[in-house]
Chains A and B, each alone.
Chain A
């Protein structure tokens, strides 16, 4: 069944989409850690195919011109790029707000000082656990936790605002109160508690990651209580798990509406998991300008707005609230990227999704299939 990227009947009749606010720049897929839920694709880009400095600088200039306000410098581990500082400097020059998303392993105080001097606006640091054991186990890197603590302290010493990012799943969901405490102790202004999203690596590891319904509802209560208690002191943003929810998440706030994502090799995606949808035609910054891609790439227009929706969503009053949910989840569960997200209780596959989640959650201790380069590198 060929369901994706249908050619539009009248491409010119479509009103131009508003400019994007944010761009996720995945500078590299290289990373010393091996999180089993990593949002990078299963088929990771090698260093040899990464964009060079000049191309990235051009992309940042084009992004600023297009209307992007904030750039998230991510990876993999973005500090694996030795030219990171020059990219930050360039972003500052063209008026882009820069957010560094780092795992904090292998980042020396000297490097952080250089990044700070380059003008980075904000640092987001991941913690795979709230304790040595959990962080080191989940990231599969001994000593990761201690290094992260040191980086967090250094970030604050430099006066940079800090966000702690913690992806939660069965092995660490009970640590949410500890994550919040950790964020407070480290002087973070913000913490993201993001339930693992099941695409790519996380989908492979769903049996090991899926929390139980009770755990998820307990977590929601804990977050809500902490939010009220810490108002004005710590901002808590939570990405809710939708397997047990009634409505799907408004994925990306709508496909091709507010943000775009550039991969290490220059492909531009509407969301970081979009490559899990077969048949989408992604354009590359090596061949196209960013504005051209945003406006005209078939992958961006495939699920923009509401025209592509199945009748179930089209006739629903929430269609411009949640935009039919997540296309990648529809692909993963329904086998059809243009289906209603099975996380929605109206989807005919909702019960199936719930059953999958419950079966996975009852799985007990399952070994992780850690993130790694799966295809042997023929280049070296």
Chain B
């Protein structure tokens, strides 16, 4: 059920911010009139959503950092990002021709 093109580069939409909430000791995703509490797995993915890394790179890095099967990570990341994209929290940019060629 892979929905996203994994060469695409995700970034948080304007108006969405991930930050550590010191006062409560947790990570929060701040959006218009909303405060979301991502679970620990979601936080690890979100930390890599920086508008630079592609989905492929995010999957590679998570798979090696947590020594888990790449396929499983890929499924999780895809489902998670697809959900956020639908909610307008994440946007995806296709890589430009120049980038793809390099």
Contact = CB atoms under 8 A, between A and B. Distances in A.
A122 B35 contact: no
Contact of A69 (B14, B15, B35, B87): B35
B24 A19 contact: yes
A97 interface: yes
Interface residues of B, number: 17
A161 B24 contact: no
Contacts of A237: 33
A97 B30 contact: yes
B18 to A, nearest CB: 11
Contact of B17 (A66, A97, A189, A232): A97
B98 interface: no
Contacts of B19: 69, 95
A161 B23 contact: no
B21 A67 contact: yes
B57 interface: no
Overall SS of chain B's interface: loop
Given A122-B15, A161-B13, A19 B23 contact: yes
B86 interface: yes
A69 B28 contact: yes
A121 interface: yes
Contacts of A135: none
Interface in B44-102: 86-88
Contacts of A161: 13-15, 32
A122 B32 contact: yes
Given A161-B13, A161-B15, A69 B21 contact: yes
A163 interface: yes
Contacts of A99: 32-33
A190 B33 contact: yes
A159 B11 CA distance: 14
Nearest to B13: A161
Interface string A88-115: 0000000101010000000000000000
A24 to B, nearest CB: 12
Given A65-B23, A69-B19, A237-B33, 19 more contacts: A19-B23, A21-B35, A66-B23, A67-B23, A67-B24, A69-B30, A99-B32, A121-B14, A121-B15, A121-B30, A121-B32, A122-B32, A122-B33, A160-B14, A160-B15, A161-B13, A163-B32, A189-B32, A232-B86
21 contacts: A19-B23, A21-B35, A67-B21, A67-B22, A69-B19, A69-B28, A70-B30, A70-B33, A95-B19, A97-B17, A99-B32, A99-B33, A121-B14, A121-B15, A121-B17, A122-B32, A160-B14, A160-B15, A163-B33, A190-B32, A190-B33
Interface of B: 13-15, 17, 19, 21-24, 28, 30, 32-33, 35, 86-88
